[in-house]
Amino acid sequence: MFPVIDLQGSPYERGLAHGTRARARVERSLANYARLFELCGISWGDAQSIARRYRPFVARIGEQYLEEIEGIAAGAGRRVEEILALNARTEILPPSFPGKPSEAWLAAIRRGADFGECTAIAVLPERSAEGGTLLAQNWDWLGAQREALVVLRSGGDCLTLTEAGMLAKIGLNRHGLGVCLNILRSESDGLRPGAPVHVLLRALLDCASLAQAETLVRRVRCGASSNILCASAAGGAASFELSPGRVGVVAARGGILCHTNHFLAQEGREHEVLLPPSLSSVPRLQRIEALSGSGKFSAADLQRMLRDESDGFLSICRRPDPSLPEEARVESVASVVMELARGVMHVAPDIPSKAAYEAVALEAEPVVQ
């Protein structure tokens, strides 16, 4: 299981604890992204310079999030710009990365590499076997980043599986609100700075309702495209498809909402970067919708769906393709199934078909003296 780190106190104190207790994993995050930026033709020094431009946008979402980033940097013994670069990594990477590809990446693309990531699903109470909202996701990315993952539990307020050094990714909060993330790509990504999506995810975990979450995503301007699948224990769900200057909203149908890595709402389709023939986003969406087409589902049922390997290396459950260069071997780094009303996150800390899901609760168990 990934380290579970309990955070208490002010935003700076929470960040300080994060950076201190996850220092080795923060170092792993920094090393992995420095290499990824280099593969995209962006030096680590340039990445930090670009990251500085995002500082005011983080503060605009909330000064407390900037304070938390500063705390992470202090705890990990790194520059604030380095931690900013981690939190803005989606925005700094080119919209169709790598922007200046290495020979290894070019070879991977020629051989059909798929750089898309993530399959997510929300199940509303009317389709839930236990009557409570479920939210789940496989996070597909480069396997080396698995060793940089942590679970952060912030004072009983929110629980998130994220990359060490980043404020949040997949998670839930005490109000029964949960978030998942799918990368999208549009032509306007990275043209000018905007709200980093990993900071926005942390701010969404401070929201009390789906309506408040929608107000927040409409208030900020993003620097790159993403889909945030958001669901509530109260029964609602929505996919917020964000791209610079645009917000598209996709609603659940028949109590189910699924998303992969292409735009579904009209607002983003006309500006979407052309999907390569190898990208498995469309068949993955079709598969998860077929698996959830009828009946009612439990958390265990969603775990089985996320273990689906019916399409080989391009399945919902992604194993790395050994025929591709190491830099291009996308896999399911982790898998999460959340029971929002219970405040429980079930985490598979590896490719889900080869790992057991372990439960982590929003409320930490009291320490027995």
CATH number at residue 205: 3.60.60.10
Per the domain annotation, does 366 fall within a domain?
Answer: no
Per the domain annotation, does 285 fall within a domain?
Answer: yes
The model carries a pTM of 0.94
Domain count along the chain: 1
Q: Say yes or no to pLDDT of 271 above 90.
A: no
Per the domain annotation, does 216 fall within a domain?
Answer: yes
Per the domain annotation, does 309 fall within a domain?
Answer: yes
The pLDDT value recorded for residue 100 is 46
Contact indicator for 232, 340 with CB cutoff of 8 Å: yes
SS3 state at 288: helix
Mean pLDDT of 301-316: 95
How far apart are alpha carbons 284 and 258 in whole angstroms? Answer: 10
Per the domain annotation, does 368 fall within a domain?
Answer: no
Q: Say yes or no to pLDDT of 367 above 50.
A: no
321-361 pLDDT per residue, tens = 888 777 778 899 999 999 999 999 999 999 999 999 999 99
* Residue 106 binned pLDDT confidence (cut-offs 50, 70, 90): low
Q: Say yes or no to pLDDT of 369 above 50.
A: no
195-240 pLDDT per residue, tens = 999 999 999 999 999 999 999 999 999 999 999 999 999 999 999 9
Domain residue limits at 126: 4-361
Residue 77 buriedness (CB in 10 A; 0-12 / 13-18 / 19+): exposed
Residue 124 buriedness (CB in 10 A; 0-12 / 13-18 / 19+): buried
How far apart are alpha carbons 202 and 285 in whole angstroms? Answer: 26
The pLDDT value recorded for residue 117 is 72
- Range from 57-61, 78-82, 276-280 carrying the lowest mean pLDDT: 276-280
Per the domain annotation, does 66 fall within a domain?
Answer: yes
User: If you average pLDDT over every residue of the chain, what do you get?
Assistant: 91
